[in-house]
Amino acid sequence: MSLLRRCALACVVSLAAVAAVVAPARAQDTTVAGVRIGLVYAPGTRPGVLVLPVDGTAGDSIRAILERDFTYGDRINVITLEPSAIPQFGSGSARPNYPLFTRLGVAAILQVTPTSFGIQVTVHNAGKGVAERTKAFPLPSGTLSADWRLALHAVADEIEQWVTGVRGIAATRILYVSAGRVWQVDSDGANAIAITSSGSNAMSPVWHPKASHIAYMTMGATGQQVVIREIGGATRVLPTRSGLNMTPTFAPDGYTIVYAHGAESGTDLYATNAFGNEPARRITVGRGSDNTQPSFSPDGRRLAFTSGRSGHPEVYISDADGTNAELLTPYNFGDQSYRANPDWSPDGRLIAFEAQLAGRMQVMTIGLRDRVIKRHTSEGTNEQPSWAPDARHLVFTSNRGGTKQLWVLDVESNTVRQLTHAPAGARFGAWSPLLRAR
Amino acid sequence: MTRGTRVLALSVLALAAVSACRKKPEVTPTPSGPTPSPTCDQRCRDSIALSEKRRADSIAAANAARDAAERERALATTKATLAAPVYFEYDSDELSPDARATLDAKLPIFRANPSLRIRVAGHTDERGSDEYNLALGQRRAAAVKRYLSDQGIDGGRFEIVSFGEERPVVAESNEEAWRMNRRAEFEIIAGAESLVAPK
């Protein structure tokens, strides 16, 4: 009995300690510009948001896109009501029916009005019964065009920040490879377009940290090259030595590119200026092993990569210059399953990777502070995770639907949704940083 | 034997006997051979010479055809030996005794064909990371080149490339398909026209 009590006491103490550690982080999250709706986002608690019907020819599209963005963000509980069934405004008033909505679990009411140059958005605090904030957003002409959609996604992201304190990730795009071509698709699955020409035999696309360029690998009959492409502009083949040149990644500084080069004695990571002609410098010493798939920490000081130096692939982290390499993923001696494809989360706290379990790859994360490993998938083969800018969602390749397609995972709730429906299949998803509407 | 065939056999025997009797008087005491008999006139001699020549020609042609077929067969064997892939264990670039034997069989071909150049392409099965498999394929191709160089073949005669898991021989997901796909392939990039079988 006394032992139990002591345990309980210990639990309380440790919980308090955890709370003390967590508290500053949350406080940090809430210090954002703009007005708060009096809601503090907590995992597992999603404020209810109601988007009122929107007038105008594009009104239904605007409302549907905003609602879908909030749903996909996994931080807001979108509450939908039959428009005809609910009197949205009090009698003889332009004010929403606050008491009714509050009873229905609505925390914030979104009122969107078309203007001559875009939309005006008002966020009402249902609990307090006041309009908290109004802002006009310009939208480009060409309703439902790619630019218009991106601009509207950015509106959704800003509203999500008002409501939850965390900016949404709707205004992003995901690169992938289908039938050897690099494609991009909006975060909501719309607007899939091919970026490279057919027959480009591309693999492993990545974004520049400013989303101004992408880099990828092309496979020829005699070897592989790294190609850097300006968005909407020219392409350039990175001057590398002949042989295997693959898995490029831009450093957060925006100038350095790190890639894997292999010839006759293993594959090592090399760094060079992405836009210059300097000779590349080798940054791993693999001694004949394979060292590939580099991913930078957000501060650019550390590097995660896959290495076969222990006899089979495992994830390692090192300083950006390749020194102080240490094994990140633990394994048991004689274990033939392997771990690969690390992607460092934008908040620096987790590394996502793929691990072979019972012969199949599964998406995992490992905490950098506590080295706690979490498994996030189980259905089919799941691989090639890439973080969204919110450090909460991952895009990955899964064959669970019969063909390889991209899926999106919320690592906090482990809910998934299918992103692509490419006839030729899709793989090598790479999530962009937040994009600015043009 | 039916009655009919028995009758046929008898008549054949009888015919043979008759023709033997008829030929007998033509036999002369002169030695047989290319020398025409005195009873043979010029036309007769020409006809004999022609038939002799035809016979010789046909023998020569037959011999030539046989030699050509042999050469063809030897060349086909040479090409097949050269192209024979080597196979690897899962996630390994180690050359098994079988793989070494496959490579050893290629050595005389390289020695007999100094202008022969080869591209060695490393491949993997579909398991594991698509990208890491490119590096693994490269390591397999490099292991093959290293082995052949160690046996005295100039390393400059080999190019290596990796296709990872991108070009499977068997596009299935089972042990047998994986075994067939973990391989190094050999492609002639120079000296194909002058290829000869080793002596």
Chain B residue with Cα closest to A201: B166
- pLDDT confidence of B53, banded at 50, 70, 90? very high
Q: Which of A244, A265, A341 sits opposite B134 (nearest CB)?
A: A244
Question: How many CB atoms neighbour CB B95 within 10 A?
Answer: 20
A306 close contact with B: CB closer than 8 A = yes
| Of the residues A164, A185, A211, the one at which a domain ends | A164
- C-alpha distance from B132 to closest chain A C-alpha (Å): 7
User: CB–CB of B161 and A221 under 8 A?
Assistant: yes
User: CB–CB of A246 and B135 under 8 A?
Assistant: yes
- C-alpha distance from B75 to closest chain A C-alpha (Å): 26
Same domain, A287 and A382: yes
Q: Residues A375-391: what's their mean pLDDT? A: 96
Strands A405-410 and A393-398: antiparallel
Which three-class secondary structure state does DSSP give residue B159?
A: strand
Contacts of A356 in chain B (CB under 8 A): 127-128
A345 close contact with B: CB closer than 8 A = no
Question: How many CB atoms neighbour CB A220 within 10 A?
Answer: 10
Contacts of A243 in chain B (CB under 8 A): 138, 160
Contacts of A247 in chain B (CB under 8 A): 131
Chain A residue with Cα closest to B139: A266
Residue B196 per-residue DSSP state: -
- C-alpha distance from B125 to closest chain A C-alpha (Å): 13
Amino acid at A171: A
Question: A195 lies in a domain?
Answer: yes
Q: Residues A238-249: what's their mean pLDDT? A: 96
Same domain, A146 and A184: no
| The total number of structural domains that make up chain A | 2
Residue B33 per-residue DSSP state: S
Answer yes or no: is pLDDT of A13 > 50: no
Question: A5 lies in a domain?
Answer: no
CB contact residues (below 8 A), chain A span 403-432, against chain B:
427-428
Task: State phi, psi for A112 to the nearest 5 degrees.
Answer: -115, 125
User: CB–CB of A222 and B146 under 8 A?
Assistant: no
Q: Which CATH number describes the domain made up of B85-190? A: 3.30.1330.60
Same domain, A229 and A369: yes
What CA–CA distance (Å, rounded) separates A213 from A207?
6
Question: A337 lies in a domain?
Answer: yes
User: CB–CB of A262 and B91 under 8 A?
Assistant: no
User: CB–CB of A356 and B131 under 8 A?
Assistant: no
Answer yes or no: is pLDDT of A169 > 80: yes
Burial of A198 (0-12, 13-18, 19+ CB in 10 A): exposed
User: Which residues touch B141 (CB under 8 Å, ≥6 apart)?
Assistant: B120, B121, B122, B160, B161, B162, B184
User: CB–CB of A203 and B163 under 8 A?
Assistant: no
Residue A3 is encoded by which pair of tokens? 């032992």
The 10s digit of each residue's pLDDT in A387-413 is 999 999 999 999 999 999 999 999 998
CB contact residues (below 8 A), chain A span 353-372, against chain B:
354, 356, 359, 361
Which three-class secondary structure state does DSSP give residue A234?
A: coil
| Of the residues A134, A164, A194, the one at which a domain ends | A164
User: CB–CB of A267 and B160 under 8 A?
Assistant: no
User: CB–CB of B142 and A219 under 8 A?
Assistant: no
Question: A311 lies in a domain?
Answer: yes
What CA–CA distance (Å, rounded) separates A123 from A33?
15
pLDDT at A83: 62
pLDDT at A22: 39
CATH code for the domain in which residue A299 is found:
2.120.10.30
Question: A108 lies in a domain?
Answer: yes
Answer yes or no: is pLDDT of A35 > 90: no
The label of the residue with tokens 């060349």 reads B75
Q: Residues A204-217: what's their mean pLDDT? A: 97
pLDDT at B40: 78
CB contact residues (below 8 A), chain A span 185-224, against chain B:
203-204, 219, 221-224
Q: Which of B132, B146, B159 sits opposite A313 (nearest CB)?
A: B132
Same domain, A160 and A177: no
- C-alpha distance from A78 to closest chain B C-alpha (Å): 38
pLDDT over 70, % of chain B: 81
Task: State phi, psi for A273 to the nearest 5 degrees.
Answer: -80, 125
Contacts of B138 in chain A (CB under 8 A): 243-244, 262-263, 267, 290
Question: A143 lies in a domain?
Answer: yes
Q: Residues A315-319: what's their mean pLDDT? A: 97
User: CB–CB of B146 and A361 under 8 A?
Assistant: no
**How many A/B residue pairs have CB atoms within 8 Å?**
90
Residue B155 per-residue DSSP state: G
Residue A53, sorted as left (phi over 0), alpha (psi -120 to 50) or beta, turns out to be beta
- C-alpha distance from A25 to closest chain B C-alpha (Å): 35
User: Which residues touch A346 (CB under 8 Å, ≥6 apart)?
Assistant: A298, A387, A388, A389, A390, A391
pLDDT at A20: 40
Give which of A265, A258, A301 is closest to A283, Cα–Cα.
A258
What CA–CA distance (Å, rounded) separates B78 from B189?
15
- pLDDT confidence of A91, banded at 50, 70, 90? low
Residues facing residue A397 across a β-bridge? A383, A406
pLDDT over 90, % of chain B: 74
A384 close contact with B: CB closer than 8 A = yes
Strands A339-344 and A326-327: unpaired
User: CB–CB of A340 and B142 under 8 A?
Assistant: no
Question: How many CB atoms neighbour CB B161 within 10 A?
Answer: 22
- pLDDT confidence of B9, banded at 50, 70, 90? low
Lowest mean pLDDT, pick from A26-30, A244-248, B15-19, B52-56: A26-30
Which three-class secondary structure state does DSSP give residue B22?
A: helix
Question: A194 lies in a domain?
Answer: yes
Best-predicted range by mean pLDDT (A28-42, A98-112, A201-215)? A201-215
Same domain, A371 and A244: yes
Residue A92, domain extent? 34-164
Q: Residues A380-387: what's their mean pLDDT? A: 97
What value does the mean pLDDT of chain A take?
A: 88
CATH code for the domain in which residue A48 is found:
3.40.50.10070
Same domain, A218 and A303: yes
Answer yes or no: is pLDDT of B188 > 90: yes
Residue A129 is encoded by which pair of tokens? 């019964």
Residue A128 vs residue B27, higher pLDDT: A128
N-term to C-term CA, chain A: 66
Question: A7 lies in a domain?
Answer: no
Same domain, A252 and A389: yes
B159 close contact with A: CB closer than 8 A = yes
User: CB–CB of B138 and A341 under 8 A?
Assistant: no
| Of the residues A164, A184, A199, the one at which a domain ends | A164
pLDDT at A261: 97
Q: Which of B90, B128, B161 sits opposite A223 (nearest CB)?
A: B161
